[in-house]
Structure 1
Amino acid sequence: MAVDFIEYKQAQLRSNCPECYSSDGLTLVFSYKNEKNKLFERSTEEVKTRMYCTTCDTIIPPSRWTDDIERVFEYNKKLAAPPEPYFKFKPLSLILLLGVITVGIGAAFLIIKTQ
Structure 2
Amino acid sequence: MSSSQFQLIKEARLKNNCPECYSNDSLELTIKQKLSETQFYKSITNEIVSDINCLNCELQIFPVRWTDDIEQVVNYHKRGLNLKTKSVALKPISWGIITFFTVIIIATILFATGVLVL
Shared fold (TM-score, shorter chain, > 0.5) = yes
- The 5 A counterparts of 1:8-87 are 8-87=9-88
Distance 1:27 1:75 in 2: 14
- 2:99 maps to 98
Contact 2:107 2:116 in 1 (8 A): no
Q: Secondary structure at the match of 2:36?
A: strand
SS at match of 1:70: helix
Q: Distance in 2 between matches of 1:25 and 1:47?
A: 23
TM-score by length of 2: 0.83
SS of equivalent to 2:85? coil
> Which runs of 5 or more residues in structure 1 are unaligned?
none
Aligned residues: 115
**d(CA) in 1 for partners of 2:15, 2:62:** 17
For 2:18, the aligned partner's letter is: C
Match for 2:71: what amino acid?
A: E
Deviations 1:3-32 (A, max 9, x none): 222221111111111112222221111112
Q: Does 1:113 pair with 2:112?
A: no
The secondary structure found in structure 2 opposite 1:113 is coil
Please report the TM-score for the alignment, with normalisation by the length of structure 1: 0.85
Any gaps of 5 or more consecutive residues in structure 2? none
Task: Give the AA of the match of 1:52.
Answer: N
In percent, how many aligned pairs have the same letter?
Answer: 31
SS in 1 for 2:116: helix
Which SS does the other structure have where 1:95 is aligned?
A: helix
1:24 aligns to what SS in structure 2?
Answer: coil
